[in-house]
Structure 1
Amino acid sequence: MITPQDKELLAKKGISESQIAGQLSCFVKGFPYLKLDAAASAEKGILVLDTHEQKEYLTAWERYINEDRTIVKFVPASGAASRMFKDLFEFLGAEYDEPVKAFEKDFFAHIAYFAFYEDLNAACLKNEKQDISALIASGNYKAVVANLLNEVGLNYGSLPKGLLKFHNYKEGARTPMEEHLVEGALYASAKAGKANVHFTVSTEHRALFEELVAQKVKMYSEKYKVEYHISFSEQKPSTDTIAADMENKPFRSEDGKLLFRPGGHGALIENLNDLVADVVFIKNIDNVVPDNLKGDTILYKKLIAGVLVSLQEQAFKYLKLLDSGKYTAEQIREIIQFVQKKLYCKNPDTKDLEDVDLVLYLKNKLNRPMRVCGMVKNVGEPGGGPFLAYNPDGTISLQILESSQIDMNDVKSKEMFENGTHFNPVDLVCAVRDYKGHKFDLTKFVDPATGFISYKSKNGKDLKALELPGLWNGAMSNWNTVFVEVSLSTFNPVKTVNDLLREQHQNKD
Structure 2
Amino acid sequence: MLSQQDLKQLAQKGISEAQIEYQLGQFKTGFPFLKLEAAASIERGIVAPNEADRKKYVEAWQQYKAAGKRVVKFVPASGAASRMFKDMFAFVDADYDVPTTDFEKKYFDNIEKFAFYDELDAACKKNEGKGIKALISEGNYKAVAANMLKAEGLNYGQLPKGLLLFHNYPEGPRTPMEEHLVEGALYAASNGEAHVHFTVSHEHMDLFKAKVAQKADVYAKKYGIKYDITFSEQKPSTDTIAANPDGTPFRNSDGTLLFRPGGHGALIENLNEIEADVIFVKNIDNVVPDRLKPETVEWKQIIAGVLVTLQEKAFEYLRLLDTGKYSHEQIEEIIRFVQQDLCCRKSDIKELEDAELVIYLRNKLNRPMRVCGVVKNVGEPGGGPFLTYNQDGTVSLQILESSQIDKSNKEYMEMFTKGTHFNPVDLVCAVKDYKGNAFDLPKYVDPTTGFISQKSKSGKELLALELPGLWNGAMSDWSTIFVEVPLGTFNPVKTVNDLLREQHQ
Aligned mates of 2:279, 2:348 — CA distance in 1:
33
* TM-score under structure 1 length normalisation: 0.99
Q: CA deviation at 1:415?
A: 0.8
**Aligned twin of 1:297:** 296
Note the 1:193-232 alignment, pairs <5 A. 193-232=192-231
Aligned mates of 1:309, 1:421 — CA distance in 2:
26
Q: CA deviation at 1:68?
A: 1.5
Aligned mates of 1:167, 1:15 — CA distance in 2:
41
* TM-score under structure 2 length normalisation: 1.00
- Once the two structures are superposed, residues 162-198 of structure 1 have per-residue CA deviations (whole angstroms, 9 ceiling, x without a partner) of 00000000000000000000000000011x1110000
**Aligned twin of 2:387:** 388
Asked if residue 56 in structure 1 is aligned to residue 56 in structure 2, the reply is yes
**Aligned twin of 2:84:** 84
**Aligned twin of 2:3:** 3
Asked if residue 235 in structure 1 is aligned to residue 226 in structure 2, the reply is no
Contiguous gaps of at least 5 residues in structure 1 = none
SS in 1 for 2:374: strand
Aligned mates of 2:325, 2:407 — CA distance in 1:
49
Which AA in structure 2 matches 1:332?
I
Q: CA deviation at 1:279?
A: 0.1
**Aligned twin of 1:342:** 341
Aligned mates of 2:498, 2:2 — CA distance in 1:
47
Q: CA deviation at 1:422?
A: 0.1
- Once the two structures are superposed, residues 203-223 of structure 1 have per-residue CA deviations (whole angstroms, 9 ceiling, x without a partner) of 000000000000001110000
Which AA in structure 1 matches 2:306?
V
**Aligned twin of 1:174:** 174
- Once the two structures are superposed, residues 99-135 of structure 1 have per-residue CA deviations (whole angstroms, 9 ceiling, x without a partner) of 0001001100100000000000000000000000000
**Aligned twin of 2:110:** 110
List structure 1 segments (4+ residues) > 6 angstroms apart after TM superposition: none
SS in 2 for 1:43: coil
SS in 1 for 2:91: helix
**Aligned twin of 1:286:** 285
**Aligned twin of 2:319:** 320
Asked if residue 501 in structure 1 is aligned to residue 500 in structure 2, the reply is yes
Which AA in structure 2 matches 1:116?
F
RMSD: 0.4
Aligned mates of 2:143, 2:414 — CA distance in 1:
48
**Aligned twin of 2:138:** 138
Q: CA deviation at 1:323?
A: 0.6
Asked if residue 257 in structure 1 is aligned to residue 256 in structure 2, the reply is yes
Asked if residue 45 in structure 1 is aligned to residue 45 in structure 2, the reply is yes
Aligned mates of 1:147, 1:254 — CA distance in 2:
33
Q: CA deviation at 1:55?
A: 1.1
**Aligned twin of 2:467:** 468
Which AA in structure 1 matches 2:121?
N
Asked if residue 481 in structure 1 is aligned to residue 467 in structure 2, the reply is no
Note the 1:409-424 alignment, pairs <5 A. 409-424=408-423
Note the 1:118-197 alignment, pairs <5 A. 118-190=118-190, 192-197=191-196
Aligned mates of 2:457, 2:186 — CA distance in 1:
45
The number of equivalent residue pairs is 505
Aligned mates of 2:214, 2:328 — CA distance in 1:
61
**Aligned twin of 2:399:** 400
Contiguous gaps of at least 5 residues in structure 2 = none
**Aligned twin of 1:379:** 378
Range with bigger deviation, 371-380 or 47-56: 47-56
SS in 2 for 1:316: helix
**Aligned twin of 1:24:** 24
Aligned mates of 2:89, 2:253 — CA distance in 1:
29
Which AA in structure 2 matches 1:145?
A
Aligned mates of 2:126, 2:171 — CA distance in 1:
24
SS in 1 for 2:344: coil
Which AA in structure 2 matches 1:368?
R
Which AA in structure 1 matches 2:251?
R
SS in 1 for 2:179: helix
Which AA in structure 2 matches 1:148?
M
Aligned mates of 2:147, 2:404 — CA distance in 1:
41
Q: Percent identity?
A: 68
